[in-house]
């Protein structure tokens, strides 16, 4: 997801104003699966916003904190074989604003993030539609100034990037063909800052529309989380009163990739930072918003007749996410 932090979200923009029309065969089960074939090129714009209020025993008054980041990347399908498809990811621009830290700090962080503009990674998608490998991270870090590389290393981490892409895929996509109006349940686990989170999400296929020769599936979802805090002297003790999310996804069935993805996450928690040595506690109320839009650079590529038979896509979550029984 964050994914949360998740990272990875995406969308479909229409070049000319077109009115969506209901697809035919609405009563038939529909396959919603990742493909991303060679030659497909998409530009992804992702906006992440975070607002939180922090209060604590050592704070004279509640403190409001916020940040916003906008990232533009380019995804290009490069090759395909029996193991899956390879997709090149290029960072085109990154902007960040942290108002409560002041313009100087925000500008410094933005310059650090801008250091990777133009850098490329290679993602490998399995036939099941999951990212199982990210290549090129070490090469990017090696070219950066030492201070920038140190600051970006937690962000430019192959495992983290895989998790962000896969969390979005596993959270909303079904494991089998579904009908319009059908609801399924997914479960995705993540670990962050010593806290284990298991998100149970109910997803409904609300509609399938025909837009510019593409079939677009609209998915609506809501999710709640169970949280298990880690243990140890350096791990915060966290109690959650609220941890839930809701959102919508539009998936371009024709292209086999997300057209858009929006999530709003609400968290309310109390934490003791170091319960064994420090009695101080804090309370956090947080709203996190994630919106991703993907614009096809070559929108006609996915609707041209294929020159060779395609391997039928395997649905994307068969390895990790179970549907509701």
pTM check: above 0.75: yes
pLDDT of residue 245: 94
In this prediction, the residues of the chain whose per-residue pLDDT falls under 50 are 1-21, 23-24, 301-325
Q: What stretches of 71-131 show up as alpha helix (H) in DSSP?
A: 102-114
SS3 43: strand
Q: How far apart are CA 305 and CA 324, in angstroms?
A: 36
Q: Are residues 156 and 189 in contact, defined by beta-carbon separation less than 8 angstroms?
A: no
31-303 maps to which CATH number? 2.30.230
The DSSP bridge pattern shows strands 214-229 and 237-252 to be: antiparallel
Tens of pLDDT, residue by residue over 81-116, are 999 999 999 999 888 877 766 555 556 666 777 778
Q: How far is CA 18 from CA 11, 105, 221, in A?
A: 16, 43, 26
CB 206 within 8 A of CB 176: no
Dihedral in degrees, nearest 10, Cα atoms 290, 95, 283, 62: -120
Predicted pLDDT of residue 135: 96
Question: Domain coordinates of the chain in residue numbers?
Answer: 31-303
pLDDT digits (tens, 9 = 90+) for 123-163: 999 999 999 999 999 998 888 888 878 878 887 889 989 99
Which H or E run includes 53?
A: strand 41-56
- Residue 53 dihedral angles phi and psi, to the nearest 5°: -115, 125
How high is the pLDDT of residue 150? Answer: 83
Largest CA distance in the chain: 68
> Which pLDDT belongs to residue 101?
61
């Amino acid at each position: 997801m964050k994914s949360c932090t998740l990272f990875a979200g995406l969308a479909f923009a229409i070049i000319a104003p077109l009115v969506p029309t209901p697809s035919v065969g609405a009563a038939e089960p529909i396959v919603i699966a990742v493909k991303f074939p060679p030659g497909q090129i998409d530009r992804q714009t992702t906006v992440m916003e975070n607002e939180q209020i922090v209060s604590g025993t050592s704070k004279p008054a509640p403190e409001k904190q916020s940040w916003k980041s906008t990232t533009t990347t380019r995804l290009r399908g490069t090759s395909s074989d029996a193991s899956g498809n390879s997709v090149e990811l290029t960072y085109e621009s990154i902007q960040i604003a942290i108002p409560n830290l002041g313009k100087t700090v925000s500008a410094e962080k933005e310059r650090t993030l801008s250091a990777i503009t133009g850098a490329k990674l290679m993602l490998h998608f399995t036939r099941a539609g999951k990212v199982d490998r990210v290549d090129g991270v070490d090469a990017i870090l090696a070219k950066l100034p030492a201070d920038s590389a140190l600051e970006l290393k937690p962000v430019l981490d192959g495992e983290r990037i895989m998790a962000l892409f896969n969390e979005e895929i596993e959270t909303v996509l079904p494991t089998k063909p579904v009908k319009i109006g059908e609801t399924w349940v997914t479960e995705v686990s993540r670990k962050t800052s010593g806290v284990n989170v298991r998100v149970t999400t109910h997803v409904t296929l609300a509609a399938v529309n025909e837009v510019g020769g593409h079939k677009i599936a609209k998915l609506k979802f809501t999710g709640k989380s169970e949280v298990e805090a880690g243990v140890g002297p350096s791990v915060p003790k966290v109690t959650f009163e609220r941890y839930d999310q809701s959102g919508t996804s539009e998936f371009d069935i024709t292209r086999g990739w997300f057209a858009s993805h929006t999530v709003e996450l609400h968290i309310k928690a109390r934490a003791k930072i170091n319960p064994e040595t420090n009695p101080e506690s804090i309370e956090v109320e947080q709203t996190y918003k994630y919106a991703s839009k993907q614009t096809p650079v070559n929108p006609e590529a996915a609707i041209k007749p294929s020159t060779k038979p395609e391997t039928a896509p395997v649905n994307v979550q068969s390895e990790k996410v179970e549907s509701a029984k």
